[in-house]
Amino acid sequence: MKSCLECGEKIIGREDKKFCSDGCRNAYNNKINKDSNNYMRNINNKLRKNYRILSGINTEGKSKTTKSKLLSLGFDFDFFTNILKTKTGNTYYFLYDQGYLLLDNDFYMLVKKDI
Ligand SMILES: [Zn+2]
């Protein structure tokens, strides 16, 4: 016999049932959704913050900045939306349409993708 994933009560009925009641199913699913939403919200906030920082500096569509300037604004290099590798071997990191490329001496080239 199987038991309810939420409360542990024995389940009576169909073999594939996972919960004893609709209430238990809802409670269980709400918990799962809440956790993943908090986790996703934190990441999305970091992505948005990074994007705001790049957009704030790179108003012309192409510019240079330094690592220390980005860090002082709270930029988090662990979070980006995608990577673009060029044929010439450069690796651009993008936050949506704003990208950066590491240059020498902790300088960064900022670019904006044409959409
Ligand atoms: Zn239950």
Question: Which tens digit of pLDDT belongs to each residue from 51-106?
Answer: 999 999 999 999 999 999 999 999 999 999 999 999 999 999 999 999 999 999 99
pTM of the model as a whole: 0.70
Alpha carbon 8 to its chain centroid, in Å, reads 34
Q: What distance in angstroms lies between residue 86's CA and the mean position of ligand 1's atoms?
A: 54
Residue 38, CA atoms < 13 Å, CB-side half-sphere = 5
Q: What distance in angstroms lies between residue 10's CA and the mean position of ligand 1's atoms?
A: 8
Q: What distance in angstroms lies between residue 2's CA and the mean position of ligand 1's atoms?
A: 11
Give first-to-last CA distance, the chain, whole Å.
57
Higher pLDDT, 78 or 34: 78
CA-based radius of gyration for the chain? 23
pLDDT at 115: 66
pLDDT at 105: 93
Q: What distance in angstroms lies between residue 14's CA and the mean position of ligand 1's atoms?
A: 15
Is residue 80 helix, strand or coil?
coil
Q: What distance in angstroms lies between residue 38's CA and the mean position of ligand 1's atoms?
A: 25
Largest CA distance in the chain: 68
